[in-house]
Structure 1
Amino acid sequence: MTGKTGKVLVTYGTTNGSTAQIAEAIAEVLRKDGLTVEALPARSVTSVSPYDAVVVGGGLYAGRWHKDARRFVRRHHRGLAERPLWLFSSGPLDASAAERDIPPVPGVRKAMTELDANEHVTFGGCLEEGAKGWVAGMILRSGKGGDFRDFTQIETWAGRIAGELTARGT
């Protein structure tokens, strides 16, 4: 692939939309750097063959990546192994992701190794009133909800990806 004609997929597994918003922010940075980008829910992607690079994100729930992100990686394993790949997680409902690197959960670490992913990063999560699910309701009632996403950190990471892709000619 040459110049800035590369097509990048930013895909995600999300329950309440927080991870989707992170994916959209990443896609926007990549677009601003001249890349052609589609941001799509992981469950709606039928093939990775139209894309020259992929970013996959998933919300973290009870120490596991969102099921749609896990299924996406399993379903498209061969195609993902053949192109530049970055992974992100969104989850901690505190400031820890902004304060230090949080390693990937075991399932994501395994995918990183098997697919030779370039990088993984964990961003803070977001859980606010109206979130779906019994566990989400319990967390909110206990006063542990909130928005812990750091969009400056997210955009900086996306900028590094854009720099790597444009430097490779992707």
Structure 2
Amino acid sequence: MNGTVLVTYGTTNGSTARIAGAVADVLRENGLVVESLPARTVRSVTPYGAVVVGGALYAGRWHKDARRFVRRHREALAERPVWFFSSGPLDASASQRDIPPVRGVRRAMVRLDVQGHVTFGGCLEEGARGRVAGMILRSGKGGDFRDFGAIEAWAKGVADELSHME
């Protein structure tokens, strides 16, 4: 694949940004040129040959920055290979089974002919911002459920696919 790969993400407390960073690191380790940026800061996808978009899940919806990014750049995204990931379940479910994309993400996948999607476990720890986050933490349901082995394996698969595209 020619060109730089953009790994972009919507996050509130940084957990999804850390996942995006791990994805970007694996892509780089596999010989790709990668730029990783928060979705709200990306002005154009024209310089990129492929895009990975990640969004934290909140109440069954992708993070607003990820949703806005896809909507704002939909025409340009439709012209290049795109992968999506979601992060969010605050339990081990994402490590135990494939969790399908939420409805809005599924619709965007169809419109853009996205190459693939995966849902990773989320992370919500003390100090997280937001009223709902505070309620979840007070109920004892927080924690770090990210599986970096699974994240790295998925990113390696993306890198392999990109290496076969011309």
1:10 and 2:3 are equivalent in the alignment: no
Structure 1 segment 137-156 matched on structure 2, within 5 A: 137-156=134-153
Aligned counterpart for 2:68 among listed residues 67, 71, 88: 71
Is the CA contact 2:20–2:36 (under 8 Å) kept in the aligned structure 1?
Answer: yes
Structure 1 segment 18-33 matched on structure 2, within 5 A: 18-33=15-30
Q: CA deviation at 1:168?
A: 1.3
Unaligned runs of 5+ in 1: none
Q: How far apart, in 1, do the equivalents of 2:42 and 2:159 lie?
A: 22
1:90 and 2:87 are equivalent in the alignment: yes
Q: How many residues align?
A: 166
Q: 1:45-82 deviations in whole A, cap 9, x for unaligned? A: 00000000000000000000000000000000001000
CA RMSD of aligned residues (A): 0.7
Q: CA deviation at 1:147?
A: 0.2
Aligned counterpart for 1:47 among listed residues 44, 47, 59: 44
Q: How far apart, in 1, do the equivalents of 2:12 and 2:165 lie?
A: 34
Give SS of 1:89's match: strand
Runs of 4+ in 1 over 4 A off after TM superposition: none
Q: How far apart, in 2, do the equivalents of 1:168 and 1:44 lie?
A: 27
Task: Name the TM-score, length of structure 2 as normaliser.
Answer: 0.99
Task: Name the TM-score, length of structure 1 as normaliser.
Answer: 0.96
Q: How far apart, in 2, do the equivalents of 1:99 and 1:7 lie?
A: 33
